[in-house]
Structure 1
């Protein structure tokens, strides 16, 4: 079951209350604990947050209610991740941390950060559990993130383009006001596209010592939160086995003292699959290895468990929309 942090849930509640919604009554209706919003370690079920958005739209009659998140921007809403982003050297470094620690904020959201020749692209995908996700949840995340980076930079950063799924609403004015950028509806996914100069400029709040401290806090939180989850354990085993070749599911199951069928079932319960975890782990490690100039591309391919380097090059292009050589050349 995917969960959302109490800090992000509280920000959503503040945004909905700005619309005049009685969230205390709404939480009681949905079987959610309103008091737990102020417990920093509390987590809320993904489906519960989905129902919250659905009822908020019904009660308010405002399908763009997710954009209200821009009214409640504060670092704590992103948990420790907000402070880690603020203390980063640049927004480029900050977004890398945001992607790395996204699961702390909400497990139902997947972020990726791509480097293109003329821009950076932060892409968001929202996943549901038994209920399909709402577009309000995704729009809230994009609107909040953009407003947050404008706040910490002190500059009115204007995206090159904002991509949104679904049909264009009859009234686009609220979206134009919040994003102040070209909008593309009916897109394949949700994304913010930025000029390279905007994300490479030094942040006024940059502090390397604090950034490292926040990294440690975030790492400790993830370890405490994810340690008992099968997905986390599988990732750890994959990281250890990959240099020996592509790990097989039956080998990982044996390491966990589980049958293959039980491993598959428990991964499904956590909204994951073995093949997706393998691909995600390879992608994350690839980004880390590419930052080490001492490693050759051939060595990286083998460290990621690719017996044939050509398979590594194909996978890398799929992950990052460029070749490994181009990736390194961009720094």
Structure 2
């Protein structure tokens, strides 16, 4: 069976956009030029093809003339870039525990990312790798991950954390000054891997943001999301595309397949392998979104019908009653009144 393409989370892509803005670049324009839909950047559940992000990095280097542009990621640290993974890291007891969580959930940030922890006497080595699909990953992508990891350590500890060493699996750049300025430690190029090494004492120091209850809660959310993501990757990706396209009307198979860079036949086959048809997934997605939207009182029933891709609101009303056994207006009234809603699945 063919593997689904590697993707990057929209949160991480947005972080890259903030970093590129430091050089005066516009991520929306770069996305469009790279053949990506800029609306993906504002969809928190969207996934973006890794090869598309490689093209964005290539364009960024070409237009800025700065091959070390990935290091700007050290200046845009926000937990939301990692979604639930970032908050899970924040609530960890130590940096070591937090990075173990990042290793566990790294696929939620990007399937192309590969993070590995190596514990050694007195030190901890974090090894980074980014894998491409058809295109080899840009060196800026892995350097961005390293810069962000270091900045996150400094932000979490509120200390000017300095690694014991940093290694790069690439030739020495013509200008190593940006690397020396950021990492402030011995640096080796042409190394076997990209890595940062920290003292064990630093990695095991208790964090002021530690919260065991929140950590367990975030673990549950991240674990549930990861389980769905890993068990049915194409179904998950298709649902995300459907959520994005529904506002434009009922999505056709051809449009969804094109958004996923595959043929209609391939999409149908992969969904079938995961035990669902396109029509079943479309209906399931509409059902789930309908319940979410009806819980938002600022949205009218007409607006919700349009957001679900129904050309005629009456079609939405009939579909909702078929799904749940009561009209959408009655469901909303009961929910907003705090009443128990007896819906028929």
Q: Do the structures match in fold with TM over 0.5?
A: yes
- Superposition map of 1:15-30 within 5 A: 15-30=19-34
Partner of 1:76: 80
**In structure 2, C-alpha distance between the alignment counterparts of 1:37 and 1:225, rounded to whole Å:** 19
Partner of 1:103: 107
SS at match of 1:192: strand
CA-CA distance at 1:130 after TM superposition:
0.2
Where structure 2 has 5 or more consecutive residues not aligned to the other structure, the ranges are 237-269, 271-345
Residue of 136, 140, 146 corresponding to 2:144: 140
**In structure 1, C-alpha distance between the alignment counterparts of 2:96 and 2:33, rounded to whole Å:** 41
CA-CA distance at 1:176 after TM superposition:
1.2
Contact 1:84 1:97 in 2 (8 A): yes
Contact 1:135 1:165 in 2 (8 A): no
Contact 1:91 1:201 in 2 (8 A): yes
**In structure 2, C-alpha distance between the alignment counterparts of 1:223 and 1:33, rounded to whole Å:** 27
**In structure 2, C-alpha distance between the alignment counterparts of 1:24 and 1:38, rounded to whole Å:** 11
Tell me the matched-pair count.
232
Task: Tell me if 1:184 matches 2:188.
Answer: yes
Partner of 1:167: 171
- Superposition map of 1:229-308 within 5 A: 229=233
**In structure 1, C-alpha distance between the alignment counterparts of 2:192 and 2:48, rounded to whole Å:** 28
**In structure 2, C-alpha distance between the alignment counterparts of 1:87 and 1:13, rounded to whole Å:** 26
Q: Deviations over 1:52-107 (max 9, x none)?
A: 00111001100000001112111111121111111001111111101000001011
- Superposition map of 1:310-321 within 5 A: none
Residue of 48, 51, 54 corresponding to 2:55: 51
TM-score for both structures, normalised by structure 1: 0.68
Partner of 2:44: 40
CA-CA distance at 1:217 after TM superposition:
1.1
TM-score for both structures, normalised by structure 2: 0.65
**In structure 2, C-alpha distance between the alignment counterparts of 1:225 and 1:13, rounded to whole Å:** 25
CA-CA distance at 1:225 after TM superposition:
2.0
Moved over 3 A (4+): none
Where structure 1 has 5 or more consecutive residues not aligned to the other structure, the ranges are 233-265, 267-331
Task: Tell me if 1:90 matches 2:88.
Answer: no
Residue of 205, 212, 234 corresponding to 2:209: 205
Partner of 1:245: none
- Superposition map of 1:109-148 within 5 A: 109-148=113-152
**In structure 1, C-alpha distance between the alignment counterparts of 2:75 and 2:156, rounded to whole Å:** 15
Q: Deviations over 1:8-63 (max 9, x none)?
A: 00000111122111222221111211121111110000100001001110011000
**In structure 1, C-alpha distance between the alignment counterparts of 2:203 and 2:27, rounded to whole Å:** 36
Please provide the CA RMSD for this pair: 1.4
**In structure 2, C-alpha distance between the alignment counterparts of 1:42 and 1:226, rounded to whole Å:** 15
**In structure 1, C-alpha distance between the alignment counterparts of 2:35 and 2:227, rounded to whole Å:** 28
